[in-house]
Amino acid sequence: MSAISDLDTLLKALSPSLSGVEYVFCHVGDAAYGDYADLFPVATFREKEGLTLVITKTEADVAEMGYQGVFRCITLDVHSSLEAVGLTAVVSSKLAEQGISANVIAAYYHDHVFVPVDRADDALAILNKLTT
């Protein structure tokens, strides 16, 4: 399957799916990649302020790591090109219109949208409407 870059095609094939897992974003000031591998992060990102980990709420609670907000992940199951233009903008705009924050992480095959746990079903419904 080759990556899709055409926005209209991407939206028609979006196929959003909602994970049942609750995720949190944690910050570790002075850490290197791999230091927290035992927490099984689904994503990490290095910023000048330190390392951000996206881990399950369960893992964060067990490790007594601080976080703000709890999220669920909606995966856009279409194979989007990393060079596609507009997909993140459309998705985040539609969610923003309904007051839903969207923390988008692009991976090689798919985009993943982390939305507040209490608005996850609403967000999924909004994204499903984009496919019609």
In tens, the pLDDT along 75-117 reads 999 999 889 899 999 999 999 999 999 999 999 999 999 999 9
Q: Residue 1's pLDDT is what?
A: 65
| Torsional class of 15: left (φ above 0), alpha (ψ -120 to 50), beta (otherwise) | left
33 CB contacts (<8 Å, ≥6 apart)? Answer: 44, 46, 51
Bridge partners, residue 104, by sequence: 113
Average pLDDT over residues 28-36: 85
Q: State pTM to two decimals.
A: 0.93
Q: Is the pLDDT higher at 132 or at 47?
A: 47
Could you read off the pLDDT of 60-81 as tens digits, one per residue? 999 999 999 999 999 999 999 8
Q: Which two tokens stand for residue 23?
A: 């995720």
For the chain, which domains are there?
Answer: 7-129 (3.30.2130.10)
Q: Are 127 and 88 in contact (CB under 8 A)?
A: no
